[in-house]
Structure 1
Amino acid sequence: MAGSNAFSTKGAYVHTGEEFTRDTNYIEDRITRDGTFPPGTPAPEGAQAWAAEAGRYRLIAARACPWANRTVIVRRLLGLEDAISLGMPGPTHDARSWTFDLDPDGHDPVLGIERLQEAYFRRFPDYPRGITVPAIVEVSSGAVVTNNYPQITIDFELEWTAFHREGAPDLYPEALRPEIDEVNDRVFKDVNNGVYRCGFAGSQAAYDRAYARLWDAMDWLEDRLTGQRYLVGDTITEADVRLFTTLARFDPVYHGHFKCNRNKLSEMRALWAYARDLFQTPGFGDTIDFVQIKQHYYIVHEDINPTQIVPDGPDLANWLTPHGREALGGRPFGDGTPPGPPAAGERVATGHNPLYPPAP
């Protein structure tokens, strides 16, 4: 749990008078089909490529984190569960790093570590940046390979094809990549990261600017999704995955905790129906743990919630109400098929998601 005085997160997120700026410098190593950088893709300085091999790597992805949630969804949709194992830290952390407090004896059962920090330090003993999820760790060495979350899902889609399940959808179709990239760029700047720019603003002016950009983008998305089922084309793509993880957290966390309160997601006709459509699609809603999500934000962010009290609401049963988006057409998985149920040991806990209600 966060809150230890020695390793408190206080002061880590909000800096008085400043706008929140996300550090986007990640470990730029990549895992590719043959262990080399793809033709025409120059290797960033100091980066290396690793070969995609079943069983070689472990994805560390906390359910609470929206950036990590993306990788879990894509792994599910593509059927990579047998090729890449999944380690799940608990929802809270202190200034050091995420911990495996949900696992027996508090250690990841495959890597044997208590904190994700240990995997980073095995690779970079003086690693100077945040210990972030998602991270991919080489099992044999116990060392982190990459935490570059925007690239991880793209590489799952393009470089791990030899390990995709039969019927895996094409989440990054070549003909649509320029449009997907364009949509992703705005969604990241103004929505995915926009909610954090509101929540961690260090001044009224910084908050006002972030708030205006967020809601301008939300209105743009509302308009875009009024006449089409998915963000780009007529199937689910990488763009939908990236937006969904923010929408799933909007009413439970961002509306109140991050002061993104012009209105709730559930008060936006098209966006709310779109979010429910995806939530009710296999591979999306079945990865969402609302209890862990709320615990993470309200407990870890001492700067904006010093009491660390986690709210009981809102009622989340409305995620299962009919959405009516089928009327817009579209083929969720294109020429592919839905994924099967979550793998054994990876199902969200009973009572943490309306798909898995507690026993009456």
Structure 2
Amino acid sequence: MSDDGTQPSTGTDVGANFVDPGKEFSRDMRYITTRITADGRDGYPVEPGRYRLIVARACPWANRAIIVRRLLGLESVLSMGICGPTHDERSWTFDLDPEGVDPVLKIPRLQDAYFARFPDYPRGITVPAIVEIPTGQVVTNDFPNITLDLSTEWKEFHRDGAPDLYPKDLRSEIDEVAELVFRDVNNGVYRCGFAGSQESYESAYDRLFERLDWLTERLSAQRFLVGDTITEADVRLFTTLARFDAVYHGHFKCNRNKLSEMPVLWNYARDLFQTPGFGDTIDFAQIKEHYYIVHKDINPTQIVPKGPDLSHWLEPHNRETLGGHPFGNGTPPHPPLPEEVVPLSHWANTERD
């Protein structure tokens, strides 16, 4: 199952059909709505060591959770399992782990955790997902609420100096901006890439770049999307921008401009990329492998492009001249855990031809 939320067809080949000919792409947003909360109102109270966050570095929705968990310093209370970048039509798999089995959950496929709770689960086996370790059952895959709950419900276990990514006085504005970004950018690139008709593609394309122009105007005068610090809204936009030139520009035909040809957004993205907790969670090698291999109906050769040059992500962005403080009164997160470090060659390869 893909991060895109589409439903599988029959068979087990990696090359599922992601495009429905003649139709507009529509994301299935029916996620498991169970919440992990401080009061445990859904039967799942916040508890150190009880849950495991399952992600794939290739997936932009999962990447949000990786970033937020790190910024808030929740590594010691919420462990993380990492799926490989490709999957078949059944499930994401733990092929990066020894013998292809998650070392904590002891399962080879994420679907095992879904079926442990819902034996007849009918929808996509998506990441991110949070699994209860003692039972081996999935709790939630509701990606918009996972990160919000990490910020609000897990507050007791935040590190000293953790930023407030969802401040109460800015929540309505954060929600409004995040919804526009989701509709036209986060999901908009998929509506381009998985469009089943010329008309639906062009409509999604126009909305995508109209929203990117709107974001350019907004970010021309302020360093971050809402307020003068990093918030949930920035996390949500960043994971799409990070994949734009490597995947969406070519593979999804979002080709009016590359990100690197839109100076304001390019500098904004590099500002975040160079902020601890953002760029060091990005694995460009896995990102490209996922999209270009799994989406076989879009890229039947499954050839993974060699570019783009990653060194430009580390060049000066000069966004600090707009003011603002990334972590507010807080501090940057500590370096990633050794077992969670992205190889430098996958993250910001500075070698050029």
Please name the residue that 2:40 is paired with. 35
Residue 88 of structure 1 aligns to a residue whose secondary structure is strand
CA deviation after TM superposition for structure 1 residue 11, in Å: 5.0
Find the aligned partners of 1:260 and 1:183 in 2 and give their Cα distance: 21
Structure 2 residue identity aligned to 1:210: A
Please name the residue that 2:271 is paired with. 277
The reply on whether 1:89 has 2:83 as its aligned counterpart is: yes
Q: Give CA deviations for 1:309-348 in whole Å, capped at 9, x if unaligned.
A: 1010111110000000000000110111100100120000
The reply on whether 1:186 has 2:180 as its aligned counterpart is: yes
The reply on whether 1:16 has 2:21 as its aligned counterpart is: yes
Query: Which of 202, 218, 230 matches 2:196?
Result: 202
Structure 2 residue identity aligned to 1:14: V
1:1-360 to 2 correspondences below 5 Å = 6-36=11-41, 48-354=42-348
Find the aligned partners of 1:228 and 1:246 in 2 and give their Cα distance: 20
CA deviation after TM superposition for structure 1 residue 97, in Å: 0.6
Find the aligned partners of 2:107 and 2:315 in 1 and give their Cα distance: 41
Structure 2 residue identity aligned to 1:135: A
Tell whether the 8 Å contact from 2:16 to 2:294 is kept in structure 1 after alignment: no
CA deviation after TM superposition for structure 1 residue 69, in Å: 0.2
CA deviation after TM superposition for structure 1 residue 49, in Å: 4.1
Structure 2 residue identity aligned to 1:83: V
Q: Structure 1 residues 11, 109: closer, same or farther in 2, change over 3 A?
A: closer
Tell whether the 8 Å contact from 1:286 to 1:348 is kept in structure 2 after alignment: yes
Find the aligned partners of 1:9 and 1:351 in 2 and give their Cα distance: 26
Residue 144 of structure 1 aligns to a residue whose secondary structure is strand
Q: Structure 1 residues 345, 11: closer, same or farther in 2, change over 3 A?
A: closer
Find the aligned partners of 2:204 and 2:114 in 1 and give their Cα distance: 32
Find the aligned partners of 2:129 and 2:16 in 1 and give their Cα distance: 24
Q: CA RMSD in A?
A: 1.4
Residue 156 of structure 1 aligns to a residue whose secondary structure is helix
Structure 2 residue identity aligned to 1:222: T
CA deviation after TM superposition for structure 1 residue 9, in Å: 4.7
Structure 1 residue identity aligned to 2:235: V
Residue 161 of structure 2 aligns to a residue whose secondary structure is coil
- Give unpaired runs (5+ residues) of structure 2: 3-9
Find the aligned partners of 1:6 and 1:187 in 2 and give their Cα distance: 34
Structure 2 residue identity aligned to 1:57: Y
Q: Give CA deviations for 1:152-200 in whole Å, capped at 9, x if unaligned.
A: 0000000001110000000000000000000000000000000000000
Q: Give CA deviations for 1:240-287 in whole Å, capped at 9, x if unaligned.
A: 000000000000000000000001000111100000000000000000
Tell whether the 8 Å contact from 1:350 to 1:357 is kept in structure 2 after alignment: no
Please name the residue that 1:40 is paired with. none
Residue 56 of structure 2 aligns to a residue whose secondary structure is coil
Q: Structure 1 residues 49, 155: closer, same or farther in 2, change over 3 A?
A: farther
Tell whether the 8 Å contact from 2:56 to 2:83 is kept in structure 1 after alignment: yes
- Give unpaired runs (5+ residues) of structure 1: 37-47
Q: Give CA deviations for 1:191-216 in whole Å, capped at 9, x if unaligned.
A: 00000000000000000100000000
Find the aligned partners of 1:12 and 1:204 in 2 and give their Cα distance: 18
Find the aligned partners of 1:142 and 1:309 in 2 and give their Cα distance: 36
CA deviation after TM superposition for structure 1 residue 93, in Å: 0.3
CA deviation after TM superposition for structure 1 residue 303, in Å: 1.4
TM-score, length-scaled by structure 2:
0.95
Tell whether the 8 Å contact from 1:225 to 1:271 is kept in structure 2 after alignment: yes
Structure 1 residue identity aligned to 2:346: H
Structure 1 residue identity aligned to 2:122: P
Q: Give CA deviations for 1:42-98 in whole Å, capped at 9, x if unaligned.
A: xxxxxx341000000000010000000000000000000001000000000010010
CA deviation after TM superposition for structure 1 residue 8, in Å: 2.2
Find the aligned partners of 2:306 and 2:266 in 1 and give their Cα distance: 21
How many residue pairs match? The answer is 344
Q: Give CA deviations for 1:196-239 in whole Å, capped at 9, x if unaligned.
A: 00000000000010000000000000111001000000000000
Find the aligned partners of 2:266 and 2:182 in 1 and give their Cα distance: 19
